[in-house]
Structure 1
Amino acid sequence: MKYIYKIVLLSFVFLGLTSCDENENFEILPPQDGITLNSPIDGSSIALIDTNEQNPGLTVSWNSANLKDSGATYNVEVALTGTDFSAPTVIGSTTNMTLHLTVEELNNLALDVLQIPAESEASIEIRVTSGDFISNKVSVLLTPYKIEFTELFLVGSLTNWKPEESLPMTRTGFNEFLITIDLADGDEFKFLPQNTGWDGDFGEDPNNPGKLVEEGEQNIAGYPAGKYDVTVNLNDFTFNLKPILAPENLYLVGSINGWDNATALPLFKSGENTFSIVVDLPDGAEFKFLPTQGSWDGDWGADKNNAGSIVQDDEDNIKGYTGKYLVTVDYNNLTYKLTPVGSLFTVGSINGWNNGAALPMAEASLGIFTIVLDLPDGAEFKFLPNNGSWDGDWGASKTEAGRIVQDDEDNLKGYEAGKYVVAVNYNTLSYTVSKINAIPANLFLVGAFNGWSNTAGNPKFTQTSAGVFEITQALSANDEFKFVPVAGSWGDDFGESKVASKVLEQNDENNLKVTTGGNYKITVNFNKGNISVVSL
């Protein structure tokens, strides 16, 4: 579609011009010395359509009494009416006295060069010059049609300036396109209607920032390194770069909380520009993300055109999942991922690394799994989502202590021989390995309900099976409590982990707490390392 200087002479006869002048009985009298336009007729109106783009669109013809036989070169110029040809566009040069444009060429002239909005009527003026001779000018009302672009590609330094490596943009509407890119310092780019060559490439108009042109364009450049949403509108030949900044916080809102943005669920910031949360999704659940709790501004949802990607405009709710999932949102690549977390197993040297006989862990609370292990010296282990498969295995981060990762992970190791409560917390993508002295033979309850009076009269748990203790106790709102193996002694007392809800802890424990008064069934499982507190 490169137009200027590429007009070829065509043997078409001008069709489709309709005069707006009702007086057809006149004669153009050529001056004795000069150039006189014969067509188009002054005041003509041309409404272009795209059905036959190679048909004649405009014919300019003229007479020149003195120059006719001199071999002079004629330049055909156009300009918007009212500009007085202050910056005319030469649409062709010829030694003949006729110049033809096809419908496509005339439409491209209107859109790309004269910047006439598609489907809008504008008045243009035409004249012919040769040396010092200038013809009369005629006015034409011109209405270009919208060119439909079904594809658009981004090419530049980030694609090695190779059209075949250009990045396809997502079509979001008629002649509207979107792509998200990572720009490095000094990156430059432009746009292509196809990825097979440079024909029809668009760049920035050096005189109109944010506007696209095909001729005299410059590369789009000068943006700081970062991630951007790039939008292009080829209806008005504009583009825009919107920087994508990862939010400081992120919240999940959806059917699981009644779409109440004021109680949107906070995600854990699990890494640089990444967030995670564990949710239990019922059938038919839908949700999206908010950067600010209590506000819908800047909400993010699923990209309708790219599975697993998030967008802010024309987004969809995330849906189609049922069960317990770790939801991870990564603003480094604008993606989301749902990983099932309904079960977890431990595998390692303690079971001969047999993934088919991995040890099942218990769910202490949503997204938190526990197991009690007797570890010999030199023991190593990791975690599996599914017994019998290594897919999706989790291990220790090599760079962040206490973190679990799935890629380039390490085995958990370096523990002295002994008994440990091992917990994995998907909510914070962390693990703990906490030593306990022994599984007690008896267990007693002590807490606010009896004024923290640790005596021989403390309520005693019933041992329902080896290592499992159970008691029913009346508690008041905000009562706190813990467990002791010997009534009247604080030695070897147990409580709750400070970093993982309902996980048994002996060394740096918290008290457990209920928020409402009532009767509670409390179960402590020293085989799995978890605590259950159920209101009756």
Structure 2
Amino acid sequence: MTFYKMKNKYIINAFAALLLMIGLTSCDNRELVQVDNSAAPIAMDLSAEHIFLDKNYPDNPALNVSWTQAAYTVPVEVNYKIEASKDKDFKTPYVLGTVAQSLRTATYTVSQLNTAAQTIGLTKNIEGKMFLRVISALGANQIKAVSNVTTVNVTPYALEYPNFFLVGAASYVGWNSGVAQALYKMDNFSYIYTYLSQESFRFLGQQAWSPINYSIDNPGTDAASRYFKQTSANIVFSDRENMKFTGAAGIYKIEINADGAVQSLNATASPLGFEYPNLYVVGSLNGWNAANAIPMTRKSEGVFELTTTLGANTEMKFLGQQAFASLEWGNILKNNNGNSGFLGPKEDNSNIVFNGNGGSYKITVNLKAGTYTIE
């Protein structure tokens, strides 16, 4: 009796499996044979030929794109993607947006169109030609069809890129958002030479926890904080809000490229550390005589001070020895003379330039934070 029940059970299971295989085969054959594109989305009607983008009204509508429906041999769900390019061949297309099947029109704001214009390489404040097209596709970009190409002349304005503030256990300031470390910003790049350790961190858009946070664009990260599309190998996902630095503790050059098509974050080891017994000032205030560079007073680990008289157009650098040798710091980045308040090591710095009035000033250098002040 037991043998008979077991035999029936095996027969029923085998029959069910056979039905499932037939069903899957039928479904696959139907999809492969019957679905085909019969008409591409026939183009586009643009709401303007010349557009001057005014940065004072970033949320105003700037351009409306409309198109006819793409046709397929069976009723299927169709998605549309609107692409922009600097060339008619769309060698490096920029995706303006995607639209669901029920819609055949899309409107883009001044800010959205400006980002597209500068991402594809149009020059700020100069009218340039933007090529546009619509691509229809089934589901996950299958059986694509491309519309005709049309153009619009756009005058973009200069993009305003985010400000970044470093905070976290990996950083010099810890988890204190009120003193989160600002990065030096130049166009779409932000930089700092500062201390990092093997801990978690993130970037803020302000010296406060809200409203803006920046972390890795990872499915595990909170949606509102997903930003960095590329990172160096020593920066990995940590948790829903943070990244983690995995390199050895020390001074690193942190570099962010905020270009909308890049959004990268890299941490590269600096050739210099921060804990040195001496620091000196050399420059126009002592005739650039390194052998007689002016000693600073060590206040704490990596922090030095000097109070001295500074006149107009004073130029200076900081030395770790009374000679022009490996231990040298100046204004961050090559060919960047000025008073940014950020330090760069030898081979990646320029002169600090300060316009004093002949009075007394206190110079403070923090090698661990990567900053200096003149007050």
Using the alignment, how far apart are the partners of 1:156 and 1:220 within structure 2?
A: 9
1:103 is the counterpart of 2:117: no
Q: Deviations over 1:16-47 (max 9, x none)?
A: xxxxxxxxxxxxxxx98443113239x96655
The number of residues matched between the two structures is 292
> Gaps spanning 5+ residues in structure 1: where?
1-30, 210-217, 339-536
What amino acid maps onto 1:95 in structure 2?
S
In structure 2, how many angstroms separate the alpha carbons of the residues matched to 1:229 and 1:330? 15
1: CA distance, partners of 2:83 / 2:174: 34
Q: Which residue of 2 aligns with 1:364?
A: none
Counterpart position of 2:63: 58
The residue that corresponds to 2:367 in the other structure is 331
Q: Does 1:38 align with 2:58?
A: no
| CA separation of 1:181 and 1:117: change in aligned 2, threshold 3 A | farther
Q: For each residue in 1:488-521, what CA deviation from the matched residue of structure 2 results, as whole angstroms up to 9, or x when unmatched?
A: xxxxxxxxxxxxxxxxxxxxxxxxxxxxxxxxxx
| Counterpart for residue 335 of structure 2 | none
Task: Tell me if structure 2 keeps the 8 A contact 1:288–1:299.
Answer: yes
Residue number among 172, 187, 205 corresponding to 1:192 in the alignment: 205
- One-letter amino acid of the structure 2 residue matched with residue 97 of structure 1: R
- 1:219 Cα deviation after fit: 4.7
Deviations 1:336-383 (A, max 9, x none): 799xxxxxxxxxxxxxxxxxxxxxxxxxxxxxxxxxxxxxxxxxxxxx
CA distance in 1, matches of 2:102, 2:293: 74
Give unpaired runs (5+ residues) of structure 2: 1-36, 214-223, 234-241, 333-337
1:226 maps to 2:246: no
Give how far 1:61 is off.
1.1
Separation in structure 2 between the aligned mates of residue 65 and residue 162 of structure 1, nearest angstrom: 53
Tell me which residue corresponds to 1:491.
Answer: none
1:331 Cα offset (Å): 3.1
Q: What letter matches 1:146 in structure 2? A: A
> Which moved further from structure 2: 93-102 or 242-251?
242-251
**Which has the bigger relative contact order, CA under 8 A and spacing at least 6?**
2
CA shift for structure 1 position 129:
0.7
* Map 1:371-410 → 2, pairs under 5 A: none
Equivalent residue letter for 1:140: T
**Deviation per residue, 1:22-79 (Å, 9 max, x gap):** xxxxxxxxx98443113239x9665533232222222221123857xx6854412326
Q: Following the alignment from structure 1 to structure 2, what is the Cα–Cα distance between the partners of residues 118 and 36?
A: 30
Larger Rg: 1
Alpha-carbon distance, 1:95 to partner: 0.4
In the other structure, the counterpart of 1:154 is 166
Q: Distance in 2 between matches of 1:301 and 1:150?
A: 22
Paired letter, 1:129: S
Distance 1:83 1:283, change over 3 A: closer
Cα pair 1:155 1:165 within 8 Å, conserved: no
Partner Cα distance (1:117, 1:221) in 2: 36
1:104 Cα deviation from its structure 2 partner = 1.8
Pairwise CA distance, 1:185: 0.9
* 1:424 matched residue in structure 2: none
Pair 1:136-2:147 in alignment: yes
Q: Quote the sequence identity (%).
A: 20
Question: Among 206, 220, 226, which residue is 2:230 paired with?
Answer: 206
Match of 2:280 in 1: 251
Q: Report which of the two has the higher share of helix.
A: 2
| 1:472-487 equivalence runs, <5 A | none
Alpha carbons 1:192, 1:201 under 8 Å: kept = no
Question: How many Å separate the matches in 2 of 1:208 and 1:57?
Answer: 37
Following the alignment from structure 1 to structure 2, what is the Cα–Cα distance between the partners of residues 332 and 155? 14
2:134 aligned partner: 127
Cα distance change of structure 1 residues 223 and 85 upon mapping to structure 2, 3 Å threshold: same
SS at match of 1:107: helix
C-alpha distance in 1 between matches for 2:100 and 2:230:
26
- TM-score for both structures, normalised by structure 2: 0.53
Say if 2:330 and 2:351, in contact at 8 Å, map to a contact too.
no
Contact 1:61–1:99 under 8 Å retained in 2: yes
Q: Does the alignment pair 1:182 with 2:195? A: yes
In structure 2, give the amino acid aligned to 1:51: N
- TM-score (structure 1 length as normaliser): 0.40
Q: 1:75 to 1:337 in 2, by over 3 A?
A: closer
CA 76–268 in structure 1, closer or farther in 2 if over 3 Å, else same: closer
Match of 1:476 in 2: none
**SS of equivalent residue, structure 1 residue 54:** coil
Residue 17 of structure 2 corresponds to none
Q: Secondary structure at the match of 1:106?
A: helix
In structure 2, distance between residues paired with 1:283 and 1:136 = 66
Q: For 1:126 and 1:165, locate their aligned partners in 2 and report how far apart those are by CA, in whole Å.
A: 46
